Structures are given as structure tokens and as C-alpha cells.
Amino acid sequence: MKPFVRVSLCQLFIMLYISRMVVNATYSSFGSNTNHLYYGFVAALLALPATALMVLPVYGAFVTSNGRTITDNGYDVFKKYGAVIAVVYGLYFLWVLINTLSRFNIMVTKVLNPSASVLVLSVAVVAASMYGAYKGIEALGRASTIIFVFIAIALIILLCALLPKADALNFIPVSADNTGDIIDIILNMLAKNSCIPAMAMLLPFAKGDCKKGIGIWVAGVYISTAIITAIIIAVMGDYLKTQVFPVYAVTAIASLGIAERLDGLFLGVWTAGMFVKVSLFIYLLSACVKRVFGEVISRWSILICGVVVFVSSMAISMTDGMFDLLYNNNIMLIFTMLTAVVIPIILIVANKITNR
């Protein structure tokens, strides 16, 4: 049965936009040098059409299944073997949750110190996110809209503070020799598109023109990324070579009026964004568990998932080997392409055969 409409299309894509930008805020591989960061600016513009193509299978599966979630569609087509699809998506959402909170822990460790801050903030984010997931998609949609307003205001304040410090001389031209680096960054960006598999579960819950919403979301994410990256380059220049987290670093040197540093503002809105993403993906994981095991187990899955994500992320943050595995871009890219492209294409073909 098609899910009842619980969120507007606007609320859905606000949740997904915040979830994607949270990843961008903690992205650190651009911090090695200015030239590499500039490649990120170019790569964001090129990743836009690539992501638009990447979304098509999810949208196609949604349309050919008459508005079913990807897990329900799997059961419709493959009967009891559809549980395999639900398990794959559940594992993917769990992987994303651990990845996201581990990144949060590492950034807090580098920025705030001492380690007690990490424990307190992680517990607060996970506890609040479990409550958000328990309240459901409708409550998350309303909360995300409010948080988005604060994020937009914070971004405007940061732009006003940073633009006077920008210097076009900090940009370095891109040549044909940089093609390999640009391709690597594009693949990294595509690997981080966890919101596309999330769409496969969420599109049936929204009312409106999904095609239009997807287009605005894709354009909004990558144009925002390109603009933010360009401002970071123009403001920081060679100083980026010493920064692990360039987005945070640029807020630390921003000032407006009597506020000499705006990094506190960044940490506040970023933590709110973390709440949205972690809540949303705990909800999605719970939905996968519910589809396989039933309603009673899914209620417990929210609590169990929160504990597993918290413990795993804290352990990974302190273990170099596990950290390298979790952040392996090739593994993330394969997992994302499987859930965003391969499985939806299989279901599109199966739906067409079944509907004949």
C-alpha cells in the first residue's frame, strides 16, 4: 500500500539538502593545498549533471512501481526474496550513519578539545536524533524547515563577513594536467550522494512534482558547494595548506561588527544539521527493519541503531585502521551506486516485465 502523505515536497527536499550539506561542511580532503581546493570548485559544477543522471533510476523505479518505496517494490516483484533489497538498504543507511557521526567526532576533536566535548556532543546528537526518528517523518519535516531558516540566515551572515576579505588573486587556473584530480573529486562527491538512496524510500511520502523537486535539489546542492568553495579559496588562499577542515577554518577568521569570530555560529547550525541527517537516516534504517521483521522490532530498532552508531563511531574515531576502511572512497562509491543506480534499474526492468 502507498504510504500516507506526511510531508510536503518542499519539506522533503529541505531535509535532503541539509543532509547533503552536512557532509560538505566536514569535508577535509580539499585542505591540502589551494590548487586542490580549486579543483573542487570545478568538480562541483561537473558533478551536477552527473548527479542528475544518477537520480534517474531512483525516480524511474518510483514511477514504474506506481509510487512504492524501493523496499515495498522489492517485495512486490521478488516476493519473500525482496527482503534482500531491504537488508541491503538497511546496511547502507547504517554505514552512512556511522560514517557521518565518526566524521562529526573527528571534527569536534580537532576543533574543540578536550575529548570530553566529543562524548557530550555525540550523546546529545544521537539521543536527540533517536527522539526525532521516533516522532516520524512529519515531525522531522517541520523541524527541518525551521532549522533550514536558521542555516540560511547564518550563511547570509557569513557571506557578508567574508566577501570583503575575498581576493581574486588567490584563484589558480586549472589546466588539462589536472583532469585526473578533478575526476577523483567528482567520484568522491558522487560517493557521498547518500541522499539519492534515501529518496528511493522517501519519495512516496511526499506530495507534489517530484521531478521538479529533484531538479531543484541537485542544482541547489552543487551550486551551493561551488559558491562556498569559491569563497573559501578567495578568502584563505595559501592559508588553506595548513587547514584540515577548511569550512570551519574560514568561519574562524570571519568577523562582523563586534563579533570577532563566527565559528560558534557555524558549530551551532552544523550541529543542528547533524540532528536532521542522523534522525532521517535512523528513521530510514528503522523502516527497512520494519519491512523485514515487522512493527514491533522496528520500534526497538531506533534505540538499538542509536546505540550501535554511537559506540561504533566513537571506536572508529580512535582506530586508524577502521577509520581508513570506513572512509575508503571506492567502497562508498560502490555501495552508493548499488543502492542509487543498480538496484533501481533492476526494479525498473522487473516492473515493466510484471506490468505487461
Residues 300-319: tens digit of each pLDDT: 888 888 888 888 888 877 77
pLDDT, tens only, 200-218: 999 998 887 888 899 999 9
Instruction: Report yes or no on 302 lying in a domain.
Output: yes
Which has more confidence, 343 or 310?
343
pTM over 0.85: yes
CA distance 59 to 348: 10
Instruction: Report yes or no on 16 lying in a domain.
Output: no
Q: Is the pLDDT of residue 356 over 60?
A: yes
Structural domain count of the chain: 1
CA distance 118 to 108: 6
Range of the domain at 85: 22-354
The residue among 133, 107, 113 whose CA lies nearest residue 313 is 107
Looking at the DSSP bridge assignments, the partners of residue 7 are 206
Q: Say what the pLDDT of residue 258 is.
A: 47
Instruction: Report yes or no on 1 lying in a domain.
Output: no
Average pLDDT over residues 144-157: 88
Looking at the DSSP bridge assignments, the partners of residue 20 are none
Angle at 119 between CA 22 and CA 195, to 5 degrees: 20
Residues 6 or more apart in contact with residue 350 via CB below 8 angstroms: 77, 78
Q: Say what the pLDDT of residue 61 is.
A: 94
Q: Say what the pLDDT of residue 151 is.
A: 86
Average pLDDT over residues 262-281: 83
List strand residue ranges (DSSP E) for the chain, in order.
Answer: 7-8, 206-207
- Quickly state the pLDDT bin for 266 (edges 50, 70, 90): confident
Q: Say what the pLDDT of residue 29 is.
A: 47
pLDDT, tens only, 24-65: 776 654 333 444 566 777 888 899 999 999 999 999 999 999
Q: Say what the pLDDT of residue 159 is.
A: 82
Which has more confidence, 101 or 208?
101
Q: Say what the pLDDT of residue 311 is.
A: 87
Q: Say what the pLDDT of residue 321 is.
A: 61
Instruction: Report yes or no on 344 lying in a domain.
Output: yes
CA distance 234 to 257: 21
Instruction: Report yes or no on 310 lying in a domain.
Output: yes
Q: Is the pLDDT of residue 256 over 70?
A: no
Q: Say what the pLDDT of residue 233 is.
A: 83
pLDDT, tens only, 120-129: 888 888 999 9
Q: Say what the pLDDT of residue 92 is.
A: 95
pLDDT, tens only, 153-189: 888 888 888 888 888 777 777 766 678 778 888 888 8
Map grid coordinates 560514517 to a residue. Answer: 99
Which has more confidence, 222 or 180?
222
SS3 letters across 167-201: CHHHCCCCCHHHHHHHHHHHHHHHHCCCHHHHHHH
Average pLDDT over residues 344-354: 92
Q: Say what the pLDDT of residue 112 is.
A: 64
Average confidence score pLDDT of the chain: 83
Instruction: Report yes or no on 215 lying in a domain.
Output: yes
Percent with pLDDT over 70 in the chain: 85
Interaxial angle between packed helices 70-78 and 34-64, expressed in degrees from 0 to 180 and rounded to the nearest 10? 50
Average pLDDT over residues 231-255: 75
Instruction: Report yes or no on 163 lying in a domain.
Output: yes
Instruction: Report yes or no on 131 lying in a domain.
Output: yes
Q: Are 320 and 151 in contact (CB under 8 A)?
A: no
